[in-house]
Structure 1
Amino acid sequence: MEIILLIAVGMFASICGAVAGLGGGFIIVPILAFTYIVPVSDISGTSMAVLFVSAISSTLAYAVQKKVDYRSGLAFAVAMIPGSILGAWTTGIVENNVFFVSLGIFLVLMSISINFKPTRSRGGFLKPNVSRSLLDASGMRHEYSFNMTFAVSVAFFVGFLSSLFGIGGGSVMVPTMILFLAFPPHIATATSMFSILLSSFVGTISHAALGHVMWDKFIWLALGALAGGQIGARIASKIPAKTVVRVLSVCLLLAAVRLMFKG
């Protein structure tokens, strides 16, 4: 029964994570926290390892759809990597109640922010200095401009939070890309998963080196995540971005409330 549950959790988390580019850790972390009495570092490390597998699967599917902005995603990932290493180290010294309450507050903020419309008037540190033009597999061209300096700065912070909480940096990166960088929603989710793929690899290695991964749980969660990543990427291409964001906003809020009560 435990194996079936872990596979189902991995698949569901990966589907949700791929649909909105959030990674799926916001589902895995609360479930592991309520199911097992283990150090928070083990929860974060295991979730990060599953996130890496999920990111591989969903990124491959998005690559076929030609919705990944590889140049931007690579730049974001390079900035995330140092943050990922720092986050893995910090997890081991954070107390359980502080961890759960902090993550809960963070998820509440994200559940609210992703419902706002993209910023249209941008100046100062948001003034665009990079332009992109992307033609996807359906023949639709996506054109957008953004401030790379601001994006890279946020990416470092995202890498830290991703590795610290094991939830995947997409919960910060996707809202930022849509709200402040003017990325089209579907390009934002696909590019976010590509960035997470690169940064979560480093985060997983860091957690594994520190002994934070529960490998017996990871195996079954990863099996579900492999299938879920493919399914989620395909669902994302058929569902309006607005609907996806609203549903996941509710999921983030519910997970946040449960975590704060546990903390």
Structure 2
Amino acid sequence: MEYVLLVLVGMLAAVSGAIAGLGGGFIIVPVLALMYTMPVSQISGTSMAVLFVSAISSTWAYARQKRIDYRSGLAFSVAMIPGSVLGAWTTSIVGSRVFFVALGLFLMLMAVVINFKPTQSRGGFLRPTVTRNFIDASGVEHRYAFNLWFGSGVAFFVGFISSLFGIGGGSVMVPTMILFLAFPPHIATATSMFSILLSSLVGTISHVVLDHVLWGTFIWLAIGALAGGQIGAKLASKIPGLVIVRILSVCLFIVAIRLMFKG
């Protein structure tokens, strides 16, 4: 019964994570904390490993839909990687209650702000430096411009918290891409998963080296995540952008509450 529950948790996490571009760790982390008595480092490490599997599945599905901005995703992942290594190392030595609460409040703010339309007149540090224009598999053309340096700076922070908490950095990256970088919601979720795939590989390796992954638990969660990633990506392609934003807002509140009551 325990194994069946883990498979279902992995599937649910991957489905919801793929739809909102978060990765699903916001479900896995609290469930592991409730089901088992284990150090925070092992919860984060095991969740990160499952996140990597989920990201593989979701990214493969999004690639077939041609919704991934590969150039932007690669740039963001390069910035995430050093943050992922730092986050994995920090997990074993730091557990700051103040930091959890502060991050939780920040995510709650993002959950509210993301519902406002991004401004088209952006200047200063948000002044666009690159322009993207491509057509997805359904024939829809996507055209947008954003500041790559600002996005990369946020990506470093995202890599750090993703590896530190094992929750998936999409909880910060997707709202940033939609609100401040003017990404269309569907492209933001797909590109975020691609970035998470590359950075979570490094984060997972770091946790494995530090012996933070519980392999028995990971295997059953991963089985569910492989199936859930495919299902979530297919559902996301059929959901309007506005609905994705609303779902993301709810997920952000869940993540925020979990972080504020963590430990």
Q: Same fold per TM (> 0.5)?
A: yes
Displacement of 1:118 after TM fit? 1.8
Displacement of 1:103 after TM fit? 5.7
Displacement of 1:257 after TM fit? 3.0
Normalised to the residue count of structure 1, the TM-score between the two structures is 0.94
- What is the CA–CA distance in structure 2 between the aligned matches of 1:259 and 1:106, rounded to whole Å? 11
Gaps of 5+ in 1: none
Change (3 A) 1:262 1:89: closer
- What is the CA–CA distance in structure 2 between the aligned matches of 1:152 and 1:28, rounded to whole Å? 27
Displacement of 1:161 after TM fit? 0.8
With 159-168 and 109-118 compared, the bigger mean Cα shift is at 109-118
Corresponding pairs, count: 263
With 143-152 and 113-122 compared, the bigger mean Cα shift is at 113-122
- What is the CA–CA distance in structure 1 between the aligned matches of 2:209 and 2:177, rounded to whole Å? 31
Q: Match for residue 213 of structure 2? A: 213
Change (3 A) 1:133 1:258: closer
- SS of 2:238's equivalent in the other structure is coil
- What is the CA–CA distance in structure 2 between the aligned matches of 1:29 and 1:236, rounded to whole Å? 23
Native 8 Å contact 2:62 2:233 kept in 1: yes
Q: Match for residue 159 of structure 1? A: 159
- What is the CA–CA distance in structure 1 between the aligned matches of 2:96 and 2:170, rounded to whole Å? 23
- What is the CA–CA distance in structure 1 between the aligned matches of 2:102 and 2:217, rounded to whole Å? 24
Native 8 Å contact 1:105 1:256 kept in 2: yes
Letter matched to residue 6 of structure 1? L
Gaps of 5+ in 2: none
| 1:66 equivalent in alignment to 2:51 | no
- SS of 2:67's equivalent in the other structure is coil
- SS of 1:164's equivalent in the other structure is helix
Q: How does 1:1-263 map to 2 (within 5 A)?
A: 1-95=1-95, 101=101, 104-261=104-261, 263=263
Change (3 A) 1:100 1:158: closer
- What is the CA–CA distance in structure 2 between the aligned matches of 1:76 and 1:184, rounded to whole Å? 17
What is the aligned-residue identity percentage? 75
- SS of 1:237's equivalent in the other structure is helix
Native 8 Å contact 2:46 2:213 kept in 1: yes
With 80-89 and 112-121 compared, the bigger mean Cα shift is at 112-121
Deviation sequence 1:34-80 (CA, Å, 0-9, x none): 22111111111111100000000000000000011111100100010
- SS of 1:143's equivalent in the other structure is strand
- SS of 2:122's equivalent in the other structure is coil
Native 8 Å contact 1:108 1:256 kept in 2: yes
Displacement of 1:134 after TM fit? 1.2
Deviation sequence 1:67-96 (CA, Å, 0-9, x none): 111111001000100000000000111238
With 117-126 and 203-212 compared, the bigger mean Cα shift is at 117-126
Native 8 Å contact 1:23 1:170 kept in 2: yes
Structure 1 segments (4+ residues) deviating >6 Å: none
Normalised to the residue count of structure 2, the TM-score between the two structures is 0.94
Letter matched to residue 200 of structure 2? S
Native 8 Å contact 1:110 1:171 kept in 2: no
Deviation sequence 1:132-177 (CA, Å, 0-9, x none): 1111001111011111111111111111111111111111111111
Displacement of 1:26 after TM fit? 1.0
**RMSD, matched Cα:** 1.7
Change (3 A) 1:30 1:142: same
Change (3 A) 1:54 1:248: same
Native 8 Å contact 1:85 1:206 kept in 2: yes
Change (3 A) 1:262 1:179: closer
